[in-house]
Structure 1
Amino acid sequence: MVLIVMGLVFVAALVISLPIVFSLGASAIVGLVMGGYPLQQLGSTIVSASQSWVLLAIPSFIFAGSVMERCGMSSALVELARAMVGWLRGGLGMSVIVVSYFFSDICGSKMAEVSALSSALVEPLKKSGYRAEDAASLIAAGTAMGMLVPPAIFMIVISAVTNQSAVTLFLAGFIPAATIGLCLCILVFIQAHLLGWPKDSRPSFSRLWASFKKAAVPLVIPIVILGGFYIGAFTATEAGAIVALYSLLAAKFYYRNITWKEIGVIAYQSGIMTASVIFLLAVATVFQYILGVSGVPLLFAKILAPLEAYHWTFLLGVALITMVFGMVLEGLPAAVVLIPVVYPIAVKLGINPIHFDIVQTAAVGIGLFLPPMGVGLLMALKFANVGVGQHFKYYWPYLLALFAGLMLIICIPELTLALPRSAGFIK
C-alpha cells in the first residue's frame, strides 16, 4: 500500500510539472510517514549520500564542458572528423559518429553535445543530400554512443551509487563506445551505398594535418584523461580540476573569445547544475531506503529469476528495463532509483560490477534517445525540425545498430574489462 501511494504521489507531481528531484522527495516523505519510519532518516540519509569524494568531480567537468562548448572547440573537432573519414561514401555521416566520440570525451553533458553537434552539422548534412530525419538520427545515435566516453557525469554518479572506482569505470568505457561507434559507421556505410549519399571530400593529407593542428588543443584532454588514468597519475576528481583549468586557460589565452563575465556565468550555472545532481542523488537514497525495507529488491529478484541462468540474459533484461527508465525519467533518476535495486542481484550472480555498470550506462544512453519520449531525441529532432512520428521510420536502423553494439558489450565482457585490467585496476 505504501509503495502504491508513493507511486501515485510521484506521478501526480510529474503531471503538475514538478521537477523530478522534488517529485522523488515528496513521494519519499509520504513513504516515510505512511510506513511509520523515523523522519530523521530523511536528513541523515541526504547528508550521508552527498558526502562522496568522487562527486567533487562533477562541477569541474560540467564547468569544463560548458567553457569548451562556448569557445568553439567543437568546430575544430568536426573539421578533424570530416578530414579523417569524409573521403568515404557517407563520410559526412560517419564524421558525426567520430566527432561524437571525440566531443563526448571533453563535454560531459549529453544535452550540450546534442546542441553543439546539431548546430554544427545539421545544415551541412542537409546540403549534402542527407534527409533531415537522417541528420537527426545520426546526431541522436552518435550522442547515445558517447554516453560511454568519459567524463560523462552519469558515470560519476553510477560509480558512487554502486561504490565502484570512477577511474576504472572511465577506462572501461572507451572500447565499448568504439564498438557501438563501429556498428553505427557500418550502418552509415551501407545506407550511403543504398541511398546514394555523397563523399564529403577527397583524401587529403594536407587537410588532415591542418585539421589535426587546429584540433590539437581540445584533443589534449582525452589524451590526458586516458593516459593519466591508465598510469594512475590522478583520480577522477583531480582529473576534473585539471580539465577545468586547461579549458579555462585555452578559452582565455588561445581562443580568446570568452570574457571573465561569461566565465562567471558558466561557473554559476555549473554550480546550480551540480547542486541539482547531488540533491537528486541524496533524495533518491531516501527513496531507495523505503524500497529496500519494503522488499522491492526481493520482488525484483523473483521477477528477474528466469533470466538468471545466463549472465547475458540477465544483463539484457535489466538493460531493457533501464532503457525504459532512461526514456521516461531521464538518465540520472534512472540510475539512482533502479540500479541500486538490481545491482546486488548482479553481484550475487557473479557479474563483474564494472561490466554491469558499463552495460547500464550504455542502456541509459540509448534510453535518452528512444522514441517517443527520450529527452535527447526530442532535442535533436527540434534542431532538425522533424516530428517524432515522421522520424521513426528512418530511425529504426540506427536503433538496431545501437542494440547490436549493446549486445556485443553484453556478450563479450572483455570489451569492457580489457583496458582497466591491463592498467591493473581489476584482476
Structure 2
Amino acid sequence: MMLLAVAAIFVVLVLFSMPIVFSLGVAGVAGLWIGGYPLQMLPSSLVGGSQSWVLLAIPAFVFAGGLMERCGMSHALVDFARALVGWVRGGLGMSVIVVAYFFSDICGSKMAEVSALGSTLMPPLTKAGYKREDSASLIAAGTAMGMLVPPAIFMIVIAQVTNTSAVALFLGGFIPAATIMLCLMVLVYFRARRYDWPVDTRPSVSFLAASARRAAVPMVIPIVILGGFFLGIFTATEAGAVVAAYAFFAARFYYRNVSYREIFRLAYDSAILTAAVVFLLAVASVFQYLMGVSGVPRLLADVLGPLKSAPWLFLMATALITMLFGMVLEGLPAAVVLIPVVFPIAEKMGINPIHFNIVQTAAVGIGLFLPPMGVGLLMALKFANLSVGQHWRAYMPYVGALLAGLMLIILFPQITLLLPRSAGLIP
C-alpha cells in the first residue's frame, strides 16, 4: 500500500512537470512518512548514496564530450566513416551507424550525441534522397547502440549502484556495441537494395587518407580508453581526467575555435549535470530502502524464481522491464530504482555481474529510443520534423535489429566477457 502511494505521488508530480529527480525525492520522503519510518535515516542515506570516487569521472567525461562536440570533431568522424563505408550502396546510412559508435566514445551523453549527429547528418541524408523516417531511424538506432560504448555516464552510475568495476564494465561494452552495430548495418544493407539508396562516395585512397588524418585527433580517445584500461594504466576516474585534459589542449591549441568563456560555460554545465546525477543517486537510496523493507526483492525473487534454470530467460525478462523503465523514466532513474533490486537475484543465479550490467545498459539504451515515449527518440524526431505516429512503422525494423543484437549479447556471454577477462579484471 505504501509503495502504491509513493508511485501515485511520483506520477502526479511528473504530470505536473516537476523534474524527475525532485519527483523521486519528494515521493521517497513521503514514503518514509507514510510508512512510519524514522526520518533521521534520511541524511545518512542521502550522503551514503552519493559517496563514491568513480562518480568523479562523470564531470570529466561530460566536460570532455561537450568540448569535443563544440570543436567540430563529429564532422571529422563523419567524413572518416563515409570514407570507410560510403562506397557501398546505402553507405551514407551505414556511416551514420559507424560514426555513432566512434562518437559515443568521446561524447558520453546520449542527448548531446543525438543533437550532434542530428545536426551533422540529417542534411546530407536528406540531400542524398533518404526519407526523413529512415534518417531519424538511423540516428536513433545508432545512438541507442552507442549506449554500450564507454564512457557512457550510465555505465559509471550502474557500476556505483551494483558495486562492480567501472573499468571492467567499460571494457565489456566495446564488443557488444560492435555486435549491435553489425546487426544494424546488415539491416541497412538490405534496405538500401530494397529502396535503391544511393552510393555515397567512390572508393578513394586519397579521401580515406585525408579523412583519417582529420579524424586522428578524436580517434585518440577510444585508443587511450581501451589501451589504458586493458593495460591497467588508470582507473575510470583517472581516465576521465586524462580525456578532459586532452580535450582542453585539442580545443585550445589544435582546433583553436573555442574561447575560454565557452570552456568555462561547458565546465559549469558539466557541474550542473553531475550535481543532478549525484542527487539522483542520493534520493534513490531512499527508494532502495523502502523497497527493501516492503519485501520487493523477495517478491521479485519469487516471481522470477521459475527462470533460475534458464538464466537467459531471466536476462530477457529483466531487460524487457528495464527497457520499459528506460522509455518512461529515462536511463539514470531506471538504473538507480530498478537495477539494485534485481541485481542480487542475478548474482544468486550465477550470472556474471559484468554480463548482467552490460545487458541492462543495452536495454536502457534501446528503451531511451522506444516509441512512443523514449526521450532520445523524441529528440531525434525533432530534427526530422516528424511525429511518433508518422515515424513508428519505418522505425520497427531498426528496433528489431537492436533487439536481435541484444539477444546475441544475452545468449553468448563471452561477447561481453572477452575483453575484461583478457585484461585480468574477472576470472
Aligned partners of 1:98 and 1:181 also within 8 Å: yes
Alignment of 1:28-427 (within 5 A): 28-427=28-427
Aligned partners of 2:97 and 2:181 also within 8 Å: yes
CA distance in 2, matches of 1:306, 1:362: 24
CA distance in 1, matches of 2:247, 2:96: 23
Structure 1 residue 303 displacement after superposition: 2.1
Name the structure 1 match of 2:3. 3
Amino acid across the alignment from 2:39: L
Amino acid across the alignment from 1:318: T
Provide TM-score, normalisation by structure 2: 0.99
Structure 1 residue 2 displacement after superposition: 1.0
Structure 1 residue 300 displacement after superposition: 1.2
Deviation string 1:167-188 (CA, Å, 9 cap, x unpaired) is: 0000000000000000000000
Amino acid across the alignment from 1:34: I
Structure 1 residue 115 displacement after superposition: 0.4
Amino acid across the alignment from 2:154: F
Structure 1 residue 27 displacement after superposition: 1.0
Deviation string 1:251-287 (CA, Å, 9 cap, x unpaired) is: 0111011100011111111000000001001101111
Structure 1 residue 205 displacement after superposition: 1.0
Alignment partner of 2:266: what SS?
Answer: helix
Structure 1 residue 405 displacement after superposition: 0.1
Deviation string 1:104-154 (CA, Å, 9 cap, x unpaired) is: 000000000000001111111111111000000000000000000000000
Structure 1 residue 305 displacement after superposition: 2.2
Provide TM-score, normalisation by structure 1: 0.99
Structure 1 residue 309 displacement after superposition: 2.3
Report the number of matched residues: 427
CA distance in 2, matches of 1:390, 1:307: 38
Alignment partner of 2:13: what SS?
Answer: helix
Task: Report the identity percentage.
Answer: 70
Alignment partner of 1:188: what SS?
Answer: helix
Alignment partner of 1:240: what SS?
Answer: helix
Unaligned runs of 5+ in 1: none
Q: Which deviates more, 36-45 or 206-215?
A: 36-45
Aligned partners of 2:49 and 2:284 also within 8 Å: no
TM-align CA RMSD: 0.6
Aligned partners of 2:322 and 2:364 also within 8 Å: yes
CA distance in 1, matches of 2:127, 2:72: 22
Structure 1 residue 306 displacement after superposition: 3.0
Unaligned runs of 5+ in 2: none
